[in-house]
Amino acid sequence: MRKILNQPDKAVPEMLSGMAKAHAGIIEVLPGTQAVVRADAPVRGKVALITGGGSGHEPAHGGFVGKGMLDAALAGAVFCSPPLDDAIASLERVDGGAGVLFIIKNYTGDILLFDMAEEEAADRGIPVRKALVADDVAVDDREGTTGRRGVAGTVLVHKIAGAMADRGASLDDVHRVAMKVIENVRTMGMALTPCLVPGRDKPNFELAPGEMEIGIGIHGEPGVRREPLKSAREIVSEMMDRITGDLPFKAGDRVVAMVNGMGATPLMELYVIYNEVESYLAGKGIAVARPMVGEYMTSLEMAGFSITLLRADDELLSLFDHPCAAPAWRQA
């Protein structure tokens, strides 16, 4: 694990500078902050969507800022929650007078940040609703005090709630579809290698060749169990059993199926994995209405992937298909 950077402590601001230059006209970085905002914010009369969290998950979340998706994405240091000042600056920049939805991944630091930001919004008379994403089925509620982690399913909350806001819906309605996605989305991940935070000497866990870690999170944290590496078919089957059993997903359901690369897994492997996911679902009578294969929420240079399933009805699919200008959004 070797990195092409200038200085570890400059990696996030320099990345954000590169993003803003590469996607000029769509996004910009708020001066003095690490917040990515829509270049045309505020959009008067539209509900604004703000999310945020640690960096290291690119393209999440800055790549999902743009018309039809997010209005602002706060970028903390790698795997660290963003500062309150950036949340306040973003609120003031993107509030269009119709209220703000906070989309929050279920981590203690992020929850605390957005609780404080909600108070700041109240001081400014800005109505706020919150949507807490906790889609990782690898972690049972009983295993930790904070419950399930928010992972790649968060991208679908951004997309669908963002489309609802773009259509001019009220804050209550945007919040309603965000919660509908959250109730119907499930994710699980695995890794072949850990990742390394810039500036650190060693990763949070080690894996020997021929081993894999099932149930990893997106912050370099180890998974729920270690096993010998199996075939793509066996790995997918094991993960899909857990995911589909959780909601549960049933024959006749239509789903959005996302195979998400964790950062260092070649597209060749992601397509081999998707091939297995589609076959598994076909065997259960579940139809993939919208496939997604690529990198949506990564963990630096971790090798591995996650599978996300969203049970979708006509309303959610219509919002999924709504046009979107965010640089990293890709329907497939």
User: Residues with catalytic annotation?
Assistant: 57, 219
Which residue, 55 or 154, is less far from a second copy as judged by CB?
55
Q: Give the three-state DSSP class for 195.
A: coil
Q: How far apart are CA 250 and CA 31, in angstroms?
A: 48
Q: H or E stretch including 254?
A: strand 254-261
Quick note: the x/- pattern for a second copy over 286-315, rule CB under 8 A, is --x--xxx-x--x-xx-xxx----------
Q: Is 116 in the site for a second copy (CB under 8 A)?
A: no
Q: Is 210 in the site for a second copy (CB under 8 A)?
A: yes
For residue 105, what are its two tokens?
């991944």
Q: Is 217 in the site for a second copy (CB under 8 A)?
A: no
Residues of this chain, 161-200, that bind a second copy according to CB under 8 A: 192-193
Among 40, 173, 246, 269, contact with a second copy (rule: CB under 8 A): 269
Q: Is 44 in the site for a second copy (CB under 8 A)?
A: no
For residue 258, what are its two tokens?
């996302």
Q: Is 56 in the site for a second copy (CB under 8 A)?
A: yes
Among 4, 45, 142, 145, contact with a second copy (rule: CB under 8 A): 4
Q: Name which of 83, 115, 89 is nearest 102 in CA terms.
A: 115
The burial class, CB within 10 Å (0-12 / 13-18 / 19+), for 311 is buried
Q: How far apart are CA 182 and CA 313, in angstroms?
A: 14
Contact present, 35 and 19 (Cβ < 8 Å):
no
Q: Is 263 in the site for a second copy (CB under 8 A)?
A: yes
Contact present, 187 and 136 (Cβ < 8 Å):
yes
Q: Is 125 in the site for a second copy (CB under 8 A)?
A: no
DSSP state, residue 139: S
Residues that bind a second copy (CB under 8 A): 2-7, 11-12, 14-19, 21-23, 26, 55-56, 58-59, 63, 192-193, 209-210, 212, 229, 231-233, 235, 263-275, 278, 288, 291-293, 295, 298, 300-301, 303-305, 327, 330, 332
